[in-house]
Amino acid sequence: MSDLLDDPVKALTEYVSFPSVSADSSFSDGICGAREFATARMKDLGFSVETIGTPIHPVLLGTRGNPSWPRLVIYGHYDVQPPDPIDLWSSDPFAASVRNGRIYGRGAADNKGPQIVHMCALHRALKKNPDLPLHITYLIEGEEEIGSPSFRPFLEQRKDQLAGDMLLVSDTGSPGSDQLVVTTGLRGLTAMEVKLTGPKQDLHSGVHGGALRNPLQALVQICSTLHDESGKVSVEGFYDDVLEPQAWEREELNKLPTSEEEYQRFLGVPRLSPPPGFSALEAIRFSPTLEFNGLGGGYQGEGSKTVIPAEAFVKITCRLVPNQKSEDIARKVKSSIESACPDSIKVEVELKGGGDPYVVIPPGKPGSSGDESPLLNKAFPLLEDCVNNQFGTKPIYLREGGSIPIIRDLQEVAGLEALMLGLFTNEDNLHAPDESFNLKIMNRAIDSFESFFLKLGEDS
Amino acid sequence: MSDLLDDPVKALTEYVSFPSVSADSSFSDGICGAREFATARMKDLGFSVETIGTPIHPVLLGTRGNPSWPRLVIYGHYDVQPPDPIDLWSSDPFAASVRNGRIYGRGAADNKGPQIVHMCALHRALKKNPDLPLHITYLIEGEEEIGSPSFRPFLEQRKDQLAGDMLLVSDTGSPGSDQLVVTTGLRGLTAMEVKLTGPKQDLHSGVHGGALRNPLQALVQICSTLHDESGKVSVEGFYDDVLEPQAWEREELNKLPTSEEEYQRFLGVPRLSPPPGFSALEAIRFSPTLEFNGLGGGYQGEGSKTVIPAEAFVKITCRLVPNQKSEDIARKVKSSIESACPDSIKVEVELKGGGDPYVVIPPGKPGSSGDESPLLNKAFPLLEDCVNNQFGTKPIYLREGGSIPIIRDLQEVAGLEALMLGLFTNEDNLHAPDESFNLKIMNRAIDSFESFFLKLGEDS
């Protein structure tokens, strides 16, 4: 048994050294190395580990303890984003480097660092109490950065093994090392791609301009009908199922140590533009969106080319909030686009799937159903205490704008509600060059989770 | 003196063999070869030839005859479009190949074939009457396919040499080998590029969506204000200076042996979309346009990337008709775009110049001022007769949708009005793979121009 988990920086450095880029098969050695590293650490912790094949990268499933004990499931992912653009890195993305209180490397924050936090905390807790009466299932997947395509089928197949009393995740964000956030909700998603076709080939815009509708003109006309001037989505019925945020959620948000002005500076925009009735920091959590992620057609190069293009496209994603349904919104947006298209242009809307929004109401907060598992009911206030002891402030409870569809999947299929403690921050440069993880957060979080695991087991 | 001009196919084959692509400096040997070929042919015809340097590709200026004779200026260009995509050609684009009554090769129709027509016709005319009392200035440029950037400065510098009684051009189109068109007008042009900037970098559309205005959303909003539902341009004052086409112009158009249905099939669109009050074949000649030639932003690859892009762009050109002015329209469109832009987005509109529309009213048609040069007054009916004798039908007199800014420049700077006989057709695949020139049109046109030159000189 290695004692690597005695030294979090050393452990994370070794984990980062495996370039486990899931999107690119040329990194298969790195993917394999990261999987072996995670397997070895789980074995160090006394877990028995199963490697479960999928069409792309296997899932690791580690377990320890007596199945009759309270059952905790921990989620993480061993894969990372590609390092590109690699020349913008200040140091080798796969040779972790410590400077200015941070550890730099691809995956340092997303998600290898938070996994090392959980593992080191468990390591210490289990050293103190080897018979800690907590049944733990450690679930580490390898396709998170490519959208977890194999996760749902894996889940359906292994749902009995994954049944438990609660899920613990650290794959969300917090404002900084002095203020953590417990993420209580994630927006849902629905994606689609729209293709417009006009003439059978690109045409000279001088010779033929005026005879036909330019597909780009149709594109901007159609897209412009999807929002009103204020920025609200104009698709009929889009907001029908949207729930107002609860008063306590807005109050929690007031505790966020980030002002609208700071957020505007961070984004680098001339002015924030939330929809009416919301501040920007509210809008990203409580309000749904319809965003154009990519749009194009015609000449894309330098200078000019006087062409009427044959085709145009737009890629759209909507972020959804409770109780919107992914399939329902997809259908409404598709119908809105089709009816806005002039009959001189052919339109095709391809739905690309998505997932419904996720929300968990912390026990004790208004709106909580009260029928959560006893373990979950205990875990929320316990983690609040443990974090308060180490960070000097209680975590705040906030929904987040992003989507992690597997959280919703684990709820739907395995009945697990999630306690999500955010350990990375905006400064960590996720998915970008010079990704890093804040060592102060790392160390405080290990201490917090050590007490959390001990007390969660001891008192159960 | 070579007798190459006795054999038009042989002459054109040799001319095509020089890959004179002006856009790509790796073709400088081809550019040079084509220039030497054109120079040699002008010398064969008894012209003295001057090569006039420009910042890119020199202009050739050949002259023959006594300056006191009626003065004809003939325009052509020795450069061609790039051959790409080269693998879609059925034969080598620079090894001319004759099949099915056509000669295939890059530049065969645009503009080497029509030049060979003029040269062969002159060759025959001057063999019959070596002292033909016509002063001819042959002007052949090498930058037409890249927008003639050096032409206007060249013109200002040499305007005295270019002064004359009329201009002859064959660089426009006709419907087919049984019906030629004399082009009486060309649309003007104004070009601009619009750049929108939102956040300082691309943002995650889940994490930040809802807080800010997506530049792509602003782009479609702005662009959608530039046309109304019918397809008319909505920019204030856009149509202020537009002249209604004259009755005789609509009557000429009725002689065109192309129906709206045939034109729709040629374009391959579900439905034609001319602006109200115009048929499609009228609209491309008599009505101005505002076209999006290229537009884009955000993720352009396969699949999806959930991003709010930092930037978006659109490239716009307007085609203008008499009496619109390029600078005036540019100013109006720019102002319309700037005022439609929300204040949460930065907009920059870069004007890229253009040219005013050109129109010549054939002597005798209503609206003709009557003060054209005697040579021009004679040339129009004479060419009509010569074409009628060879093609069996008189040419029809039509404006064309495209723009040739140098025609307007020659009018403005050198006072030359143009007689433009179209020799290429839609089937010739200009700027595309398998460009070709119709041999029936070539031979009939040589015969027509032989009589034309002889009579234009003899009777003057």
- CATH class of the domain whose range is B4-186+358-458: alpha beta
Mutate to test the interface with A, among B194, B208, B253, B271 (most CBs of A within 10 A): B208
pLDDT in tens, B4-41: 999 999 999 999 999 999 988 999 999 999 999 999 99
Helical pair A151-162 and A405-414, crossing angle rounded to 10 deg: 40
Does residue B275 contact residue B230 with C-beta atoms inside 8 Å? Answer: yes
Instruction: For chain B, positions 366-385, list CB contacts with chain A under 8 A.
Output: none
Do B199 and A281 contact (CB within 8 A), yes or no? no
Question: What is the rounded CA–CA span in Å between residue A317 and residue A189?
Answer: 7
Largest CA distance in chain B: 82
- Taken as a whole, chain B contains a residue count of 460
Nearest to A140 by CA among A54, A19, A24: A54
Q: CB-based contacts of A163: which residues, under 8 Å, 6+ apart?
A: A71, A414, A415
Residues B106, B90: Cα–Cα separation, whole Å? 12
CATH architecture of B188-242+288-354: 2-Layer Sandwich (3.30)
Residue of B nearest to A191 (CA): B304
The predicted-structure confidence for B254-269, as pLDDT tens digits, reads as follows: 999 899 999 999 999 9
Put simply, whether A402 touches B (Cβ < 8 Å) is yes
Q: Residue A229 above 70 pLDDT? A: yes
Q: Measured between alpha carbons, how far is A123 from A6 in angstroms, rounded to an integer?
A: 8
Per residue in B407-426, pLDDT tens?
Answer: 999 999 999 999 999 999 98
Q: Does A212 touch chain B (CB under 8 A)?
A: yes
Q: Which residues of B touch A227 (CB under 8 A)?
A: 217, 221
Bridge partners of A398, per DSSP, are: A183
pLDDT class of B369 with cuts at 50, 70, 90? confident
**Residues 302-321 in A contacting B (C-alpha not used; CB under 8 Å):** 304-309, 312, 314-315, 317, 319
Q: Do B191 and A304 touch (CB under 8 A)?
A: yes
pLDDT attached to residue B230: 93
Coil, helix or strand at residue B185: strand
CA B401 to chain centre: 9
Residue B303 has a pLDDT of: 80
What's the whole-number mean pLDDT along residues A92-119? 97
Residue A141: how many CA atoms within 13 Å on its side-chain side? 22
pLDDT higher than threshold 60 for residue B460 = no
Give B355-366 pLDDT, tens digit per residue.
Answer: 999 999 998 888
Q: Which two tokens stand for residue A75?
A: 């989620």
Q: Which residue has the tokens 């074995």?
A: A43
Average pLDDT over residues A125-131: 96
CB-CB neighbors (< 8 A) of B203 in chain A: 267
Q: What is the DSSP letter of B211?
A: T
Task: Answer whether B274 sits within 8 Å of A343, measured CB to CB.
Answer: no
Burial A436-453 (b: 16+ CB within 10 A, else e): bbbbebbbbbbbbbbbbb
Kindly tell me the sign of the dihedral angle through the C-alpha atoms of A401, A406, A407, A412: positive
CB contact under 8 A, A319 and B206: yes
CB atoms within 10 A of CB B137: 24
Residue A94 in tokens: 């796969």
Q: Which residues pair with B98 in a beta bridge?
A: B103
pLDDT bucket at A272, cuts 50 / 70 / 90: very high
Per-residue pLDDT tens for B277-294? 999 999 999 999 999 999
- B111, B117, B123, B129 alpha-carbon torsion, rounded to 10°: -120
Contact B319 A231 (CB under 8 A): no
What pLDDT does residue B85 have? 84
Tokens linked to B390: 């060879």
pLDDT in tens, B136-171: 999 999 999 888 989 999 999 999 999 899 999 999
Is there a contact between A274 and B208 if contact means CB atoms under 8 Å apart? Answer: no
Given a cut of 70, whether residue A259 has pLDDT beyond it is yes
Q: Where does the pLDDT of residue A459 fall: very low under 50, low under 70, confident under 90, or very high at 90 and above? A: low
B205 touches chain A (CB under 8 A): yes
**Which H or E run contains B409?**
helix B405-414
Element (H, E) at A184: strand A181-186
Q: What's the pLDDT score for residue A78?
A: 98
Helix (H) or strand (E) holding A437: strand A436-438
The answer to whether A191 touches A317, Cβ cutoff 8 Å, is: yes
Rg (CA), chain B: 24
Q: Cβ contact (<8 Å) for B280 and A211?
A: yes
Adjacent-strand bridge partners of B398: B183
Ramachandran assignment for B411, one of left (phi > 0), alpha (psi -120 to 50 degrees), beta (any other): alpha
Cβ-Cβ contacts under 8 Å, B281 against chain A: 211
In 3D, which of B453, B380, B422 has the Cα closest to residue B177? B422
- The identity of residue A140, as a single letter, is I
Peptide bond into B323 cis (omega under 30): yes
> How confident is the model at residue A4, as a pLDDT?
96
Question: Residue B1 has what pLDDT?
Answer: 61
B205, B210, B300 ranked by CB distance to A283: nearest: B210
* Nearest CA-CA partner of A196 in A214, A175, A171, A172: A214
Could you give the C-alpha distances from B222 to A123, A364, B37, B234, B336, in angstroms and in order?
Answer: 58, 48, 50, 12, 9
Reading phi first (left if > 0) and then psi (alpha if -120 to 50, else beta), residue B353 is in left
Residue B177 near residue B440, CB atoms below 8 Å: yes
pLDDT surpassing 80 at residue B227? yes
Average pLDDT over residues B161-184: 94
* Model pLDDT for residues A431-458, shown as the tens digit of each residue: 888 999 999 999 999 999 999 999 999 8
Q: Which DSSP state fits A131?
A: T
H runs (alpha helix) in A67-196: 113-128, 151-162
Structure confidence by residue, pLDDT tens digits, B303-318: 878 899 999 999 999 9
- Choose among B201, B293, B345: nearest Cβ to A298: B293
State both tokens at A29: 């050695």
Question: Could you tell me the residue ranges of all domains in chain B?
Answer: 4-186+358-458, 188-242+288-354
Nearest-angstrom CA–CA distance, B396 and B248: 11
Rounded Cα distance, A404 and A173, in Å: 12
CATH number for region A4-186+357-458: 3.40.630.10
Which residues of chain A lie closer than 8 angstroms to B198, CB-CB? 269
Of B199, B296, B400, the CB nearest to A267: B199
What are the beta bridge partners of residue B264? none
- Record: contact B401-A213, CB cut-off 8 A: no
CA distance, residue B1 to nearest chain A CA (Å): 40
For residue B400, which residues of chain A lie inside 8 Å, CB to CB?
Answer: 207
Task: Please state the rounded mean pLDDT for residues A65-93.
Answer: 94
CB-closest option in A206, A291, A431 to B209: A291
Chain A residues 114-133 with CB within 8 Å of chain B:
none
Nearest-by-CA chain B residue for A306: B293
Among candidates A39, A62, A60, which has minimal Cα distance to A142?
A60
CB contact under 8 A, B270 and A312: no
The answer to whether A173 contacts B274, with C-beta atoms less than 8 Å apart, is: no
Please give the Cα distance from B427 to B441 (Å, whole number): 12
Q: Could you give the C-alpha distances from B436 to B100, B103, B111, in angstroms and in order?
A: 11, 5, 11
- Helix A8-16 to helix A28-44 angle (10° resolution) is 150
Collapse the DSSP code of A178 into the 3-class scheme (helix H, G, I; strand E, B; otherwise coil) and give the result.
Answer: coil
pLDDT for A54-64, tens place per residue?
999 999 999 99
Strand B166-169 versus strand B418-421 pairing type:
parallel
Q: Please compute, for residue A191, the number of CA atoms within 13 A of its CA located in the half-sphere on the CB side.
A: 17
B19 touches B453 (CB < 8 A): no
Helix, strand, coil percentages for chain B (3-state, nearest 5) = 35, 25, 40
The verdict on A299 touching B (C-beta cutoff 8 Å) is: yes
Decide if A339 touches B, using CB distance below 8 A. no
Distance between CA atoms of residues A2 and A8, nearest Å? 13
Do the Cβ atoms of B210 and A292 come within 8 Å?
no
Average pLDDT of chain B is 95
Residue of A193, A224, A401 with shortest CB distance to B224: A224
B258's tokens: 């192309």
| Chain B CB contacts of A306 below 8 Å | 189, 291, 293, 317
pTM given for the model: 0.89
Which residue is closest to A312 within chain B, CA to CA?
B295
Q: Please, which pLDDT band fits residue A357 given cuts at 50, 70 and 90?
A: very high
Q: Give dist(CA B341, CA A205) in Å, integer.
A: 26
Nearest to B273 among A207, A213, A294 (CB): A213
User: What percentage of residues in chain A have a pLDDT greater than 90?
Assistant: 87
What is the band of B459 on the pLDDT scale with cuts at 50, 70, 90? Answer: low
CB of B293 within 8 Å of any CB in chain A?
yes
Using CB atoms, which residue from B199, B205, B263 is nearest to A317? B205
Question: In this model, does residue A122 exceed pLDDT 90?
Answer: yes
Angle at A448 between CA A447 and CA A454, to 5 degrees: 90
Mutation test of the interface with chain A: which of B217, B230, B259, choosing the one with the most A Cβ atoms within 10 A? B217
Cα of A333 to nearest chain B Cα, Å: 15
Q: Are strands A289-298 and A311-320 parallel, antiparallel or unpaired?
A: antiparallel
H/E run at residue A98: strand A97-99
d(CA A265, CA B6): 75
Average pLDDT over residues A304-333: 95
Name the residue among A207, A289, A293 with its Cβ closest to that of B402: A207
